[in-house]
Amino acid sequence: MYNKEDKILIIGSGGQIGIELAQELSLLYSSENVVVADLKPIIALPNNPFEQLDVLNKDALFAIVKKHNIKQIYLLAALLSATGEQNPMFAWKLNMEGLFNVLDLAKEKHITKVYWPSSIAVFGPTTPRINTPQFTVMEPSTVYGISKQAGERWCEWYFRKHNVDVRSLRYPGLIGWKSAPGGGTTDYAVHIFHEAIKNKKYECFLSANTALPMMHMEDAIRATIEIMHSPAENIKIRGSYNLAGISFTPDQIASEIRKHIPEFGISYKRDFRQEIADSWPQSILDDEAKKDWNWSMKYDLSSLVENMLVNLA
Ligand code: NAD
Ligand code: SER
């Protein structure tokens, strides 16, 4: 089903997703075959070949692809929703030009497959917010969301016009214990565990009843690997697939944490991220992912909370 000898490049491997994705892909392809690239060295991945790379430097990217005979690229370098709003022009540049640099390598047949993540941020305030379907109104209101929506359209265009085998998932907020989040609106759902264990209290930057779709990192990594290893003819959507995840509010996750740490307390002080969260769906439908490549999620809220607390303790 897949060639274990393929050389893979993960760009942005030092981030929240990259570290865990590199570890899992290394189990499938071996560490030597998974080259990890980022702006700075990555302490957490000592066994993988490392390349210092700014993805905006197209020549340097090409040189790395040639040097290692790379066949597949996972492109994770991006500014996320909160940092993107603080630096909108740079977010647009990084999120779009990085993607073009990689898609062009595939168009020119230097590589055979591309993975690029999208996000629930492609939806906006005019999208139906409950059980958001795959195909619906999409008017994102953040620079990050606009760049993800444009990225999805470009991926689909490169597939149609140039037969580029690009695959993508609209991740919900991702929650894992192995790495820290990098500037998103859903970051509270990771920080809350660290603070619950260390200080038994947390001040949340979203209001108590802000429901958002979230997912355990293990499920997200498995989804990424499964979509990348599915037969090409099963991938009917070349923009990006919805992934539902679990929907909960800060109040609900705090109650679940209290089942393990009864003295845990949460307080609320909203900041600019509230407006971003209010523009996103509260829950998502992922029927197409289930139908096309047999997706099924493992973690619910209670098993996610238990897993996070056990591993961080
Ligand atoms: P992150 O911020 O934790 O990691 C991004 C990594 O990219 C960092 O290590 C950073 O150093 C690196 N990077 C930044 N600029 C670079 C450049 N010019 N060249 C090379 N590397 C560079 O982000 P993440 O949470 O791991 O997200 C990865 C991808 O997944 C992004 O595209 C993001 O939009 C998407 N995504 C993440 C989530 C989530 O909840 N974490 C949800 C939806 C989508
Ligand atoms: N978790 C991401 C963020 O909050 C969504 O893509 O930015």
**Whose structure tokens read 């066994």?**
47
Over 70: is that where the pLDDT of 1 sits? Answer: no
Provide the percentage of residues in the chain whose pLDDT is more than 70. 100
List, for residues 178-211, the tens digit of each pLDDT value.
Answer: 988 889 999 999 999 999 999 999 999 999 999 9
User: Which of 40, 77, 72, 35 lies closest to 55 in space, CA to CA?
Assistant: 77
pTM (two decimals)? 0.98
Count CA within 13 A, CB hemisphere, residue 245: 31
Q: Whose CA is nearest to atom 2 of ligand 2?
A: 184
Convert the pLDDT of each residue in 106-164 to its tens digit.
999 999 999 999 999 999 999 999 999 999 999 999 999 999 999 999 999 999 999 99
**pLDDT tens, position by position, 287-305:** 999 999 999 999 999 999 9
Mean pLDDT of the residues in the chain:
97
Ligand 2, closest atom to CA 80?
A: 7
Q: Of 190, 113, 186, 117, give the one whose Cα is nearest residue 152.
A: 117
pLDDT band at 232 (very low <50, low <70, confident <90, very high): very high
Q: Which residues line ligand 1 (CB under 6 A)?
A: 11-12, 14-18, 38-39, 53-56, 76-78, 80, 94, 117, 119, 171, 173-174, 181-184, 186
| Contact residues for 216 (Cβ-Cβ < 8 A; gap 6+) | 174, 175, 176, 298, 299, 303, 304, 307
Helix axes 250-258, 188-199, angle to 10 degrees: 30
Compute, in angstroms, the gap from residue 236 CA to the centroid of ligand 1.
Answer: 26
Give me 107's structure tokens.
């168009």
Predicted confidence (pLDDT) per residue in 20-65, tens digit? 999 999 999 999 999 999 999 999 999 999 999 999 999 999 999 9
Q: What is the phi/psi pair of residue 286, to 5°?
A: -125, 45
Q: Which ligand is nearest to the CA of 45?
A: 1
Q: Distance from the CA of 141 to the center of ligand 1, in angstroms?
A: 20
Distances (CA, A) of 63 to 31, 60, 110, 204: 20, 5, 11, 44
Task: Kindly list the catalytic residues.
Answer: 144
Residue 137 burial class via C-beta count within 10 angstroms: exposed 0-12, middle 13-18, buried 19 and up: exposed
Q: How far apart are CA 188 and CA 14, in angstroms?
A: 20
Q: What is the predicted pLDDT for the residue at 2? A: 83
Q: How confident is the model at residue 213 (pLDDT cuts 50, 70, 90)?
A: very high
- Cα 3 to ligand 2 centroid, rounded to whole Å: 32
Structural domains of the chain in order of their starting residue, each with its CATH number: 8-173+216-242 (3.40.50.720), 176-214+246-284+299-312 (3.90.25)
Whether the per-residue pLDDT at 311 is higher than 80: the answer is: yes
Looking at ligand 2, which atom is closest to the CA of residue 171? 6
Element spanning 38, H or E? strand 34-38
- Could you tell me the distance, in angstroms and rounded to a whole number, from the CA of residue 16 to the centre of ligand 1? 7
Nearest CA to ligand 2 atom 7: 184
